[in-house]
Amino acid sequence: MTAIALRPPEVVMRLKRLGAAHPTRLSFLRQLIRRATREKWRVRKDRFDLDDNGFGRAVYAVETPARTYSLVAFSTPLDDEKRSDRVIAQAWDTSYVLYDGLPDAAEVARLEANAPLQEAGRYTRSELVLARANKSVRLFEDVVAVLAQGRQPDEEQLLGVGYLLRTTAVYGNGKFGIADRDEIAARPELAGSFQAEMLTVWLIRSFTLDLVDHIACRRNPAGAASLAPELRRALGVGNATGLGMAPFLVRHPLLTHSWFLARETALARVRAEPHAGAAERDIFSKALADLRQRVARWHSDDDRQAAATRSLAADLDALAENLDRLLAKAPPWDAVYRFAEDKFSLEGQEACVSLILEPHGALVDELGDTMKADETPGHAIDGSVTCGSLRQALLDSYSWAGKVDFAEPSANARFWYVSAEKLEPRLGERFEEDGAELEQPLATARDALSLAAALAQEPASASVADFLLRRPEWRHAVRRAQIVAKFPYAEIHDNLIGADLRPVDILRAKLAFFGARSFDPRSDRWLRIALFSGEPLIEDVATMAPAGEAA
């Protein structure tokens, strides 16, 4: 077998390519689905106390081999003028807790007094995830009305949106007093990245679908229809995500490296395969057909995304036309990738990466276990290295940063800070707004070049420890430089404070690892997506064969 080199960070970690990312079979929700199917997780409604308008409480219990988890859901009246996707909102249509175990009536009552308050509530270590969601109001009501008449909703209208509820936050990892990550990190079913959060969203999807059926039935008990199984499977859960999530890939370099390294390793393995068997060809063709159908329904008012989607549609058409010819070459999957690399847009190239991995579960799925990193102890600075060697390491790892002229105002146009009101990351305009003195250390390219310049003033043989004793303000940059030297996918290879920065590019890269689809930027700072659309329902996995997913 011919070895294929991994795509280098200078190709993979550019903002424009990150902004064209697609979910793969290594995405976190796909990992969760495979485990749940393999272990035959069982879901039951322990409680479903909703009134005629769908207001009340519900509990969905999930039995895994080791323990039970419960989604505790609350649906409450909400005036239209209070419904907002913004993080500053204070009321939502629905709120949720992923509970460790099965809550009794007293616990449900406690959660009912707190979960609808979200950040303002009080929580315990029994709460693993906190979430809230709003209805996609017009579509939600249209679907209820049609079902109440005994008919099914229009498929094109329904799948053009792809969801009936849209989450505006899914909090884990100890936020607002819920359980710390350490509480669940050793549990196999939740050990992977964001598995508790993905389980929460998967269960919210089931509650959403049951909610529309329930309201329709209450409106017309004798004649209402239930949402058809194929439509239930096609719908997902929407999500609105903004700047608060954007710095994650920068602040977690070890985790970021592990995610991208796993995906790039998977791609290299598949490209090196010497043959394309009939089963693999069939799975690839079905995945390609499915993606072409999804792209036909992928609408965005963002001009850049709309143009990218049109290019993607053309790329996928070309791939379908040339597939047999490409798979006749050796190695076949490398030929497919190289065709995309040579002919396609970035959107098409990254979609091709996703498609190539799809038929090769036996070859790549085990890499999902590597997509985590223990960042709790931090990364100790090695003070014994010399200033000369660290400077050279900086010049090697950040050679791309030298192309940015930070003397230009446009290269320093923005600064990252933390909002005092919501304790969330925000992006300020350096030359138009106050607050630059509160800048967070996210200007990685600028800081790396500045550190290299500072080291150039030191004796080459002097130790970094001695340098930092005198210049402690450089500790964060030294630590990052030593991380990036060892973990090449840890750094985004672009200026993160420039005037042309589009934070949605960073958001999309992270969300693609979650398994998100239907990316719809609403500005350069936030976007909407869908999770679990077209994936199995959690209540079905107990009866699915492990091969229910693509091989």
pLDDT, residue 375, reads 77
With respect to residue 284, please indicate whether it lies within any of the assigned structural domains. no
Burial of 391 (0-12, 13-18, 19+ CB in 10 A): buried
Based on the structure, what is the number of domains in the chain? Answer: 1
Alpha-carbon distance of 253 to 480, in angstroms, equals 8
CA dihedral 394, 20, 181, 376 (to 10 degrees): 0
pTM of the model: 0.94
Tell whether 84 is covered by a domain: yes
The confidence score (pLDDT) of residue 550 equals 45
* Residue 288 CB contacts under 8 Å (≥ 6 apart), including other chains: 316, 319, 320, 323, 355
Inside any domain, residue 19: no
Q: Which amino acid appears at position 429 of this protein?
A: E
Return the amino acid letter for 447.
D
Q: What is the pLDDT of residue 83?
A: 74
Question: Residue 541 corresponds to which tokens in the numbers above?
Answer: 């996995």
384 assigned to some structural domain? no
- Between CA 549 and CA 32 the distance in angstroms is 12
Domain extent at residue 66: 40-242
Asked whether residue 527 is domain-assigned, the answer is no
Containing H/E element for 43?
Answer: strand 42-50
With respect to residue 376, please indicate whether it lies within any of the assigned structural domains. no
Q: Tell me whether residue 274 is exposed, middle or buried, using C-beta atoms within 10 angstroms of its C-beta: 0 to 12, 13 to 18, 19 or more.
A: exposed
- What are the Cα distances from residue 3, in Å, to 32, 268, 269, 272, 342? 30, 8, 8, 6, 20
Tell me whether residue 386 is in a domain.
no
Q: Rounded to whole angstroms, what are the CA distances from 169 to 93, 131, 193, 200, 238? A: 13, 5, 17, 11, 11
| Residue 57: predicted pLDDT | 98
Crossing angle, helix 332-343 and helix 346-357, to 10 degrees?
170
The DSSP call for residue 121 is: S
Which pLDDT belongs to residue 89? 67
Per-residue tens of pLDDT for the chain, all 551 residues = 678 999 999 999 999 999 999 999 999 999 999 999 999 999 999 999 999 999 999 999 999 999 999 999 999 998 877 777 666 667 899 999 999 999 999 999 999 999 999 888 999 999 999 999 999 878 999 999 999 999 999 999 898 899 999 998 899 988 889 999 999 999 999 999 999 999 999 999 999 999 999 999 999 999 999 999 999 999 999 998 888 889 999 999 999 999 999 999 999 999 999 999 999 999 999 999 999 999 999 999 999 999 999 999 999 999 999 999 999 999 999 999 999 999 999 999 999 999 999 999 999 999 999 998 877 666 889 999 999 999 999 999 999 999 999 999 999 999 999 987 767 888 999 999 988 999 999 999 999 999 999 999 999 999 999 999 999 999 999 999 999 999 999 999 999 999 999 999 999 999 999 999 999 999 999 999 999 999 999 999 998 877 545 43
User: Is residue 540, in this structure, part of any structural domain at all?
Assistant: no
